[in-house]
């Protein structure tokens, strides 16, 4: 039975907070109102309640991150950083400069850029001054930057968080706050050369991250518009019909057709004509076939799109990636600003692998948006742009799952040397010693205790994966030496105090 | 004459927008209402107006970033990244793990954590669901993380943006969006060892960035409270008097005293007693002197603070940084959550240097906050914490200014090889060639033109600082060779096509 009402989390907490206070737990979930006036609860989450200052009679609150957001633990940050390093390396390999823009923009900058999705934009509260919204992607801020600074040509990358008020289905790796890595080429150039480079970059990133086999679906907005026009779809319905077509990767054609006819009022024969086109996908031969299509070849827009795709495939072949690309007539892409070629990379399900339960959807996407900069420019001068965005969260979900399955232990620190002592009252010596190591650029730690046990110190090294231990005691101090111990082999060597840094650096470079 | 009214930017734009539309410019500034009913304008900014879609009669808007925020250009990003790399390297050298938290928190999480500054928090609009606010610092989210995950011990760093609705005085490097780099040690340890490490880290970062001479002011909240108590300041006035004391680094004592007496209603003799304390600063000897102070030595809290500072100076001496530290009885720090030692690093003005006009204030700061985690914990269990925050924007302002003065040209890309041709119709060969380079991990670019002129291509390399050019033409193709040209020396060598990647890698490793 579907829920009739979803009780607001905060209301929920205040309703049931008192009841559950003794345990410190409160349950979050859906309230179902049944037809007989009964009510049932479906608990989806149990969280801890805290009181800010008990004596002040503050209202209870739940300690959590906002809905659809999360903290990244040190383990997760290691995986995340590896992905970002890989992606940024690739962007730099293709000559891109880095840009940064604020987390929020003037609200007006984002208006009318995202079509139906505009309702998902986070607005800031009007606290006096300008009306602001959190950025929804990195593309619109980039176009705003180009127009504002009158930049006519730029190859840039940007890595940052964006925010969308979507219903979070967290199992699929969809969040309300997520990280995007964008690469874009702005400028007037000969056709399809930058576009081909964008697809090459997507291939390099996805291959580099070893995510398994993938496919990049390619289409062109002008071909899609041409199809709708030659199928006699009224102009006013283009948008609605496009969004139905875009669902073809998730639901079968008969359901899409039903939606078009029953919900969107399309004549059945028009829907069937569309179906003949949008169910097709293939390689460059399909482009040639479409050129020969008696109806489509009458449409100027579609012909332009097909001509560009033909050229694109030529370049993709030279790049050695044509077999990764599928011309897919159902690809529509939601965002309003695309004007030409569009693309989306999907991972191919390999049932043998553990991540089959993870339906991650597209992991990278992009396209050409030749009109967006002109919208911001006072005189309407535009700068043609093409770009791509890597969906870090989804890639992260796959790699994290894979690591869990493999049971890999991740080191979250890079400490190279631990400073230990077997003796009491040796804090001063340890502090002097570790200070020397830090000043020499060596990554070093000690325990923040006056008199730690040696065993505790050695256990810490094993637990944290620290490879070397420097041990100083009464005897060593007298002889002017230091013991250097390898944690893995448990071998110890005595070295002269003055050679300590050099010996450690030698050991570290050997391993 | 001070401004009586500050006209809202948007109102301003709509008032004067029509007037100035022909030029596309609008002026932003202050309107002064004089006592005779006159009005004068003080223009502080001139910006371009744009129209979203002229035919739609949309209201004009100004293309800009929100007040107090800015884009970072590729040149600026290079400087920014260098700073962050240095800081992160240092944090890792001290064994910290990286954490990330969402840009916004539940509004309740931030309430009552920042004292008088709480009004500067950015709230999100209530669009249904939870009430949210942008994070104000990285410390409160860290404490929330510890409590939520019941973490009792953690050495973590976090790098990210925070947002404060301050009146931006941009010349001083103060923004409404800015980047913070935080390092914190959470856990119950023997006293002052982690605190001393935090000060050591501040020294390492500031020395490493070569910002010139600096000083770290140290005080303890308990000493400050003790002073106010023994000077007979009423408890209710502690907060207000502290904020007056905190101004002593900007205005002379007589003005601070005037504020205390005239504005905050303190008896003149009480103010004078305070003045005897808070105008003092010095090294460890001042700690000993305060121990002997007949009044202060009666105060339990102050004695605890002094005892900790004595121990702290002992450790700082072992770390070799005691001469960088000044016990400064006027240091108060605004944030509510500090409970013990507090510190703030300031750059010492060196009049000989170009940046003397830049009053950057404190470049790093922090302290001990032993109660904050307990505020979030359902049972009030707390985790003692101490940490520091590096003020990246201010450091950035100094380094940027220095680079401008020195006239340094910054490379914004890392491209190693450019693929050029002297001939027409060689795009296919160039694309095949560059694809090979990319696949070998070499950073390479070409011009997105079918038939670029050789001179244009070589100029691009010089302009962008690309060191090597690979040239392919008819002749080379026939002979199975490639010309490899060094941009600096203009030397060219012919190498076999099959050795291309190896030869380039050799050349690159030599330079």
A196 to chain B: which residues are within 8 Å by CB? 431
pLDDT at A10: 35
> Contact at 8 Å (CB) between A200 and A319?
yes
pLDDT at A69: 96
Is A337 known as a binding-site position? yes
In B94-209, which residue ranges form alpha helices assigned H by DSSP? 107-110, 139-148, 193-208
pLDDT at B290: 97
> Contact at 8 Å (CB) between B405 and B354?
yes
- CA separation (Å) from B313 to A62, B178, B198, B288? 41, 32, 13, 11
Catalogue the E-assigned strands of A407-477.
Answer: 417-420, 444-445, 468-471
> Contact at 8 Å (CB) between B260 and B271?
yes
Burial of A1 (0-12, 13-18, 19+ CB in 10 A): exposed
Residue A383 is given by DSSP the state -
For chain A, the maximum distance between any two Cα atoms, rounded to a whole number of angstroms, is 96
- Residue B55 tokens read as 């035919």
* Minimum CA–CA partner of A13 in chain B: B130
> Contact at 8 Å (CB) between B326 and B245?
no
Contact B100 A77 (CB under 8 A): yes
Q: How far away is chain B from the Cα of A97, in angstroms, using its nearest Cα?
A: 5
Whether chain A has a CB inside 8 Å of the CB on B105: the answer is: yes
* Minimum CA–CA partner of A193 in chain B: B448
pLDDT at B114: 85
B53, B102, B144: residue with CB nearest A69: B102
In chain B, % of residues over pLDDT 70: 85
pLDDT at A323: 96
A48, A100, A163: residue with CB nearest B72: A100
pLDDT at B360: 56
Q: How far away is chain A from the Cα of B419, in angstroms, using its nearest Cα?
A: 12
A438 to chain B: which residues are within 8 Å by CB? 93-94, 200, 204
Taking the CB of residue A191, how many other CB atoms lie within 10 A of it?
18
Contact B102 A54 (CB under 8 A): no
Number of helices and strands in chain A (H, E): 17, 19
CA atoms of B301 and B226, how far apart (whole Å): 6
| Residue carrying structure tokens 């979250």 | A412
- Residue A2 tokens read as 């579907």
Q: In 3-state terms, what secondary structure has residue A238? A: helix
**Sequential pLDDT tens for chain A (511 residues):** 333 333 333 333 333 333 333 333 333 444 343 444 443 433 333 333 333 343 343 446 689 999 999 999 999 999 999 999 999 999 999 999 999 999 999 999 998 888 778 889 999 999 999 999 999 999 999 999 999 999 999 999 999 999 999 876 655 557 999 999 999 999 999 999 999 999 999 999 999 999 999 999 999 999 999 999 999 999 999 988 988 998 898 899 999 999 999 999 999 999 999 999 999 999 999 999 999 999 999 999 999 999 999 999 999 999 999 999 999 999 998 777 999 999 999 998 754 444 444 455 789 999 999 999 999 998 889 999 999 999 999 999 999 988 888 888 899 999 999 999 999 999 999 999 999 999 999 999 999 999 999 999 999 999 999 999 999 999 999 999 999 999 999 999 999 999 999 999 999 998 7
Whether chain B has a CB inside 8 Å of the CB on A24: the answer is: yes
Whether chain A has a CB inside 8 Å of the CB on B156: the answer is: yes
CA atoms of A81 and B142, how far apart (whole Å): 19
Whether chain A has a CB inside 8 Å of the CB on B61: the answer is: yes
B99 to chain A: which residues are within 8 Å by CB? 71-74, 77
Contact B77 A99 (CB under 8 A): yes
> Contact at 8 Å (CB) between A219 and A246?
no
Whether chain B has a CB inside 8 Å of the CB on A12: the answer is: no
Burial of B32 (0-12, 13-18, 19+ CB in 10 A): middle
- CA separation (Å) from B131 to A9, A52, A64, A496, B104? 11, 17, 13, 61, 10
Closest CA to A270 of A247, A295, A307, A297: A295
Taking the CB of residue B227, how many other CB atoms lie within 10 A of it?
28
* Minimum CA–CA partner of B132 in chain A: A66
Q: How far away is chain A from the Cα of B52, in angstroms, using its nearest Cα?
A: 5
Cβ contacts of residue A52 below 8 Å, gap of 6+? A58, A61, B108, B111, B112, B375
A416 to chain B: which residues are within 8 Å by CB? none
CA atoms of A194 and B423, how far apart (whole Å): 20
Closest CA to B144 of B385, B405, B375: B375
* Minimum CA–CA partner of A321 in chain B: B435
A127 to chain B: which residues are within 8 Å by CB? 122-123, 165
**pLDDT surpassing 60 at residue B273:** yes
* Minimum CA–CA partner of A81 in chain B: B98
Whether chain B has a CB inside 8 Å of the CB on A125: the answer is: yes
Least confidently predicted of A324-338, A422-436, B219-233, B346-360: B346-360
CA atoms of A241 and B167, how far apart (whole Å): 48
Sign of the Cα torsion B413, B418, B422, B428 reads negative
pLDDT averaged over chain B? 86
CA atoms of B82 and B70, how far apart (whole Å): 19
Region class of B332: left (phi > 0), else alpha (psi between -120 and 50), else beta: alpha
Contact B111 A71 (CB under 8 A): no
Each residue of B3-25: pLDDT tens digit?
323 333 333 333 333 333 333 33
> Contact at 8 Å (CB) between B84 and B159?
yes
Each residue of B287-335: pLDDT tens digit?
999 999 999 999 999 999 999 999 999 999 999 999 999 999 999 987 7
A63, A156, A450: residue with CB nearest B148: A63
Catalogue the E-assigned strands of A143-235.
Answer: 154-163, 177-186, 214-220
Please report the number of interchain residue pairs, chain A to chain B, with beta-carbon separation below 8 angstroms.
281
A380 to chain B: which residues are within 8 Å by CB? 54
pLDDT at B50: 36
B48, B93, B196: residue with CB nearest A443: B93
* Minimum CA–CA partner of A61 in chain B: B108
| Residue carrying structure tokens 């230990």 | A420
B175 to chain A: which residues are within 8 Å by CB? none
Q: In 3-state terms, what secondary structure has residue B287? A: helix
In B130-283, which residue ranges form alpha helices assigned H by DSSP? 139-148, 193-208, 221-230, 238-245, 253-258, 268-278
Contact B93 A444 (CB under 8 A): yes
pLDDT at B358: 46
Residue B123 is given by DSSP the state B
CA atoms of B179 and B209, how far apart (whole Å): 16
CA atoms of A226 and B93, how far apart (whole Å): 59
- B142: number of CA atoms within 13 Å, CB side? 35
In B262-418, which residue ranges form alpha helices assigned H by DSSP? 268-278, 284-292, 300-318, 372-376, 392-406
Sign of the Cα torsion A8, A14, A15, A17 reads positive
Q: In 3-state terms, what secondary structure has residue B511? A: coil
Whether chain A has a CB inside 8 Å of the CB on B45: the answer is: no
Under the banding of pLDDT at 50, 70 and 90, the label for residue B341 is very high
CA atoms of B505 and B483, how far apart (whole Å): 15
Whether chain A has a CB inside 8 Å of the CB on B441: the answer is: yes
Q: Report the side by side order of strands in the sheet with B39-50.
A: B25-33, B39-50, B61-62
Q: In 3-state terms, what secondary structure has residue B431? A: helix
Q: In 3-state terms, what secondary structure has residue A151? A: coil
Which of B59, B106, B155 is the mutation pick for testing A, counting most A CBs within 10 A?
Answer: B106
């Amino acid at each position: 039975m579907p829920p009739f009402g979803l009780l607001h989390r905060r209301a929920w907490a205040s309703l049931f907070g008192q009841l559950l206070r003794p345990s410190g737990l409160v349950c979050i979930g859906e309230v179902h109102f049944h037809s007989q006036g009964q009510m049932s609860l479906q608990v989806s989450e149990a969280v801890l309640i805290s009181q800010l200052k008990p004596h002040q009679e503050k209202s209870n609150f739940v300690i959590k991150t906002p809905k659809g957001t999360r903290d990244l633990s040190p383990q997760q940050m290691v995986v995340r950083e590896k992905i970002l390093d890989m992606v940024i390396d690739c962007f730099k390999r293709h000559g891109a400069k880095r840009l940064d823009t604020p987390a929020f923009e003037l609200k007006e900058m984002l208006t009318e850029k995202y079509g139906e999705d505009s309702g998902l934009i986070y607005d800031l509260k009007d606290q006096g001054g300008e009306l602001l919204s959190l950025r929804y992607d990195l593309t619109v801020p980039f176009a705003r930057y180009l127009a504002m600074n009158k930049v006519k040509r730029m190859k840039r990358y940007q890595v940052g968080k964006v925010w969308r008020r979507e219903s979070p289905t967290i199992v699929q790796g969809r969040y309300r706050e997520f990280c995007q890595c964008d690469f874009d080429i702005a400028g007037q150039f000969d056709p399809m050369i930058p576009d081909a480079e964008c697809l090459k970059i997507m291939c390099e990133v996805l291959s580099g991250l070893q995510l398994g086999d993938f496919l990049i679906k390619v289409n062109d907005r002008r071909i899609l518009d041409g199809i709708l026009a030659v199928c006699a779809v009224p102009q006013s319905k283009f948008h609605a019909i496009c969004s139905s077509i875009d669902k073809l990767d998730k639901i079968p054609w008969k359901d899409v057709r039903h939606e078009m006819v029953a919900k969107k009022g399309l004549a059945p024969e028009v829907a069937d004509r569309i179906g003949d086109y949008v169910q097709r996908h293939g390689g460059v031969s399909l482009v040639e076939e479409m050129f020969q299509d008696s109806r489509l070849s009458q449409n100027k827009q579609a012909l332009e799109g097909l001509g560009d795709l033909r050229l694109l495939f030529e370049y993709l072949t030279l790049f050695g990636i044509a077999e990764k690309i599928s011309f897919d007539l159902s690809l529509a892409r939601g965002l309003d600003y695309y004007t030409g070629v569009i693309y989306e990379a999907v991972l191919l399900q390999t049932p043998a692998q553990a991540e089959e339960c993870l339906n991650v959807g597209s992991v990278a996407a992009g396209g050409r948006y030749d009109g967006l900069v002109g919208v911001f420019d006072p005189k309407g001068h535009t700068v043609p742009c093409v770009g791509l965005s890597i969906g870090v969260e989804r890639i992260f979900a796959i790699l994290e799952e894979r690591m869990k399955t493999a049971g890999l232990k991740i080191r979250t620190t890079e400490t190279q040397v631990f400073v230990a002592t077997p003796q009491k009252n040796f804090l001063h010596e340890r502090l002097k010693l570790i200070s020397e190591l830090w000043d020499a650029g060596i990554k070093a730690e000690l325990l923040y205790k006056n008199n730690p046990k040696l065993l505790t110190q050695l256990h810490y090294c094993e637990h944290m994966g620290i490879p070397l231990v420097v041990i100083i005691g009464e005897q060593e101090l007298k002889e002017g030496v230091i013991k250097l111990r390898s944690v893995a082999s448990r071998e110890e060597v005595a070295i002269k105090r003055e050679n300590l840094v050099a010996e450690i650096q030698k050991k570290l470079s050997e391993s």
